[in-house]
Amino acid sequence: MRVGHGYDVHRFGDGDHVWLGGVRIAHARGLIAHSDGDVLIHALCDALLGAVALGDIGGLFPDTSDEWAGLSGHRMLQLVRTRLESVGYVPAQCDSTLIAQAPRIAPHVPAMRARIADGLGVEVGAVNVKATTTERLGPMGREEGIAAHAVAVVMPL
């Protein structure tokens, strides 16, 4: 068994939705990114790569490459699973926390867990998603962006 941690932040910009945990959520602003801006899945993929000492998503999917423009969180999960398998590991379990004053996350958690589990090829029971505001403190509290933390456990194939 090995364990990894991931953290990511994306800033709000123009838009009418955000992608979080592979789920499209209507919102008055969007998240600025080279990909679909799914900050939760980015943190989770960094945790998975960290668990096997394979660096981070910036190394695997450089934002200087057109190949990864608009990359969806779900596809990123599939690609990271394949990368893990290539070094003899599979995802076993993950936990995550979104730090967002808005939008409201709780109603979307079941769909996020199902989508993440599908992308990783694990049972829904192996995936947890949580959210917290910062009680309006700091940049997330001022709704300047959304941050996410994740931890992941991987097991040998």
Ligand X SMILES: Nc1ccn([C@@H]2O[C@H](COP(=O)(O)O)[C@@H](O)[C@H]2O)c(=O)n1
> In the numeric block, which tokens belong to residue 152?
């992941």
Written in H, E and C, the secondary structure of 86-132 is HCCEEEEEEEEEEECCCCCCHHHHHHHHHHHHHHHCCCHHHECCEEE
Residue 131 touches which member of ligand CDI, ligand X, none, C-beta under 5-8 Å by kind: ligand X
Tokens of 55: 């660096």
Count of residues interacting with ligand CDI (CB under 6 A): 13
Question: Between residues 40 and 151, which has the closer beta carbon with respect to ligand X?
Answer: 40
Output 36 or 92, the one with its CB closest to ligand CDI.
36
The yes or no reply on residue 15 touching ligand CDI (CB under 6 A) is no
**Residue with Cβ nearer ligand X (53 or 106):** 106
Task: Return the residue matching tokens 């959210």.
Answer: 131
Would you count residue 42 as binding ligand CDI (CB under 6 A)?
yes
User: Is there binding between residue 80 and ligand CDI (CB under 6 A)?
Assistant: no
Of ligand X, ligand CDI, none, which one does residue 17 interact with (CB within 5 to 8 Å by kind)?
A: none
Cβ neighbours around 59 below 10 Å, total: 9
**Looking at 28, 55, 63, 124, which residue binds ligand CDI (CB under 6 A)?**
63
Q: Strand 23-26 relative to strand 30-31: parallel, antiparallel, unpaired? A: unpaired
Residue 56 assigned to a binding site: yes
Q: How many residues does the chain have?
A: 157
CB of 105 to ligand X, least distance (A): 4
Per the CB < 8 A criterion, the answer to whether 120 and 152 are in contact is no
Binding positions: 8-10, 34-35, 42, 56-58, 132-135, 142
